[in-house]
């Protein structure tokens, strides 16, 4: 008998765990944070809170669903409690927007997604400071505070407010900056807010028109990507590829083609 819960139940679990995790992150920020270590480069920081919050989330998920797999930003793949391959995998970013968190900037969040058989079916992103909480289930829409989310209806790339982000590798940043320099005269403006999961939710709400970034990991895009898709955005990579580390574009149908083509011309998935 299949004991995999429906997406709604997985979402309820994720919401409870994300709320507790966001409370811990908020409290630890109030108590003062500092850099605990660096990862890929000296600017890619991890705080004690990133680690503590991920542990809290992993422990909570394991209590709720001991047989599931967990993939987290700080500790990677956590072992699951049975020998059978897990159908459910949780994808966790304990603090997306770590640099904002470190500086006390309010754009950062906890992100938890549930994947069943390799497909993301439920996701929650919760802003650590404002308490804004975005949720989605596959086929069930994207929501915030009981309000169903619909993305922008903008059709003109020249009028589009586009969010992007930059990686931590200096060479990658230089390439990304060159792409932005070419793109910015052709759109309304560019925003770099600093937390990919939250950015995708902001675009899902129509508070910006589109988003793109090279270099996202699964934990950056799993929950926010579902929220964006369920709000009506087209999510894809370049040249027919699935969204992934090379490129994630999230745009309303009418903008996806023009933004995609411009990014392809600018070799936005190129560079280191």
Residues within the annotated binding site for Mg(2+)? 73, 93, 95-96, 220
Is the distance from CB of 98 to CB of 49 less than 8 angstroms? Answer: no
Q: Report which residue's Cβ sits closest to ligand IPD.
A: 165
98 binds ligand IPD (CB under 6 A): yes
For the annotated binding site, the residues are 73, 93, 95-96, 220
Span interacting with ligand IPD, options 74-82, 84-92, 212-220, 223-231, rule CB under 6 A: 212-220
Cα torsion for 164, 43, 126, 54, to the nearest 10°? Answer: 140
For residue 215, state whether it binds ligand IPD (rule: CB under 6 A).
Answer: yes
Residue from the set 68, 133, 154, 220 that interacts with ligand IPD by CB under 6 A: 220
Locus of tokens 């574009």: 249
- Tell me if 109 contacts ligand IPD by CB under 6 A: no
Query: Which of the residues 158 through 187 are near ligand IPD (CB under 6 A)?
Result: 165-167
Per CB under 6 A, does 194 bind ligand IPD?
A: yes
Q: Least separation, in Å, of the C-beta of 131 and ligand IPD?
A: 19
Q: Is 195 in the site for ligand IPD (CB under 6 A)?
A: yes
**196 part of the interface to ligand IPD, by CB under 6 A:** yes
- Beta-sheet strand order (sheet of 69-72): 76-78, 69-72, 88-96, 109-116, 119-127, 133-137, 141-144, 147-148
Site for ligand IPD contains 113 (CB under 6 A)? no
**Between β-strands 161-164 and 210-213, what pairing exists: parallel, antiparallel or unpaired?**
parallel
Nearer to ligand IPD, 98 or 127 (CB): 98
In 3D space, the residue among 31, 15, 197, 213 whose CA is nearest the CA of residue 104 turns out to be: 31
Question: How deeply is 158 buried, as exposed, middle or buried, from its count of CB atoms within 10 A (0-12, 13-18, 19+)?
Answer: exposed
CB of 216 to ligand IPD, least distance (A): 6
- Choice between 7 and 97, CB closer to ligand IPD: 97
Q: List, in sequence order, every beta strand (DSSP E) within the chain.
A: 35-38, 45-47, 69-72, 76-78, 88-96, 109-116, 119-127, 133-137, 141-144, 147-148, 161-164, 189-191, 210-213, 234-236, 248-251
Closest CA to 149 of 224, 218, 40, 44: 224
Nearer to ligand IPD, 65 or 209 (CB): 209
Give me the residue label for tokens 């991890």: 46
Decide whether 165 or 252 has the Cβ nearer to ligand IPD.
165
- Footprint on this chain of ligand IPD (rule: CB under 6 A): 73, 93, 96-98, 165-167, 194-196, 213, 215-216, 220
């Amino acid at each position: 008998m299949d004991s995999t819960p429906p997406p709604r139940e997985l979402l309820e679990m994720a919401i409870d765990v994300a709320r507790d995790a966001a409370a811990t992150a908020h409290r630890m920020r109030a108590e003062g944070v500092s850099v605990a270590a660096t990862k890929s480069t000296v600017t890619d920081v991890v705080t004690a809170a990133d680690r503590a919050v991920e542990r809290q989330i992993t422990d909570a998920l394991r209590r709720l669903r001991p047989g599931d797999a967990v993939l987290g930003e700080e500790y990677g793949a956590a072992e699951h409690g049975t020998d059978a391959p897990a159908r459910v995998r949780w994808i966790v970013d304990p603090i997306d927007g770590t640099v904002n968190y470190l500086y006390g900037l309010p754009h950062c969040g906890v992100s938890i997604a549930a994947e069943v058989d390799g497909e993301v079916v439920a996701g929650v992103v919760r802003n650590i400071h404002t308490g804004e909480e975005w949720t989605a289930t596959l086929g069930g829409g994207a929501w915030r505070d009981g309000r169903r989310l619909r993305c922008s209806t903008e059709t003109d790339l020249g009028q589009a407010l586009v969010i992007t982000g930059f990686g931590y590798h200096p060479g990658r940043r230089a390439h990304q900056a060159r792409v932005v320099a070419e793109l910015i005269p052709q759109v309304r403006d560019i925003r770099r807010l600093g937390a990919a999961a939250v950015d995708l939710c902001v675009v899902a709400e129509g508070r910006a028109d589109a988003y793109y970034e090279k270099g996202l990991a699964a934990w950056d895009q799993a929950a926010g990507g579902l929220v964006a898709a369920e709000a009506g955005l087209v999510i894809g990579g370049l040249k027919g590829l699935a969204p992934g580390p090379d490129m994630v574009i999230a745009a309303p149908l009418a903008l996806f083609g023009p933004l995609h083509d411009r990014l392809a011309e600018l070799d936005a998935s190129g560079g280191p």
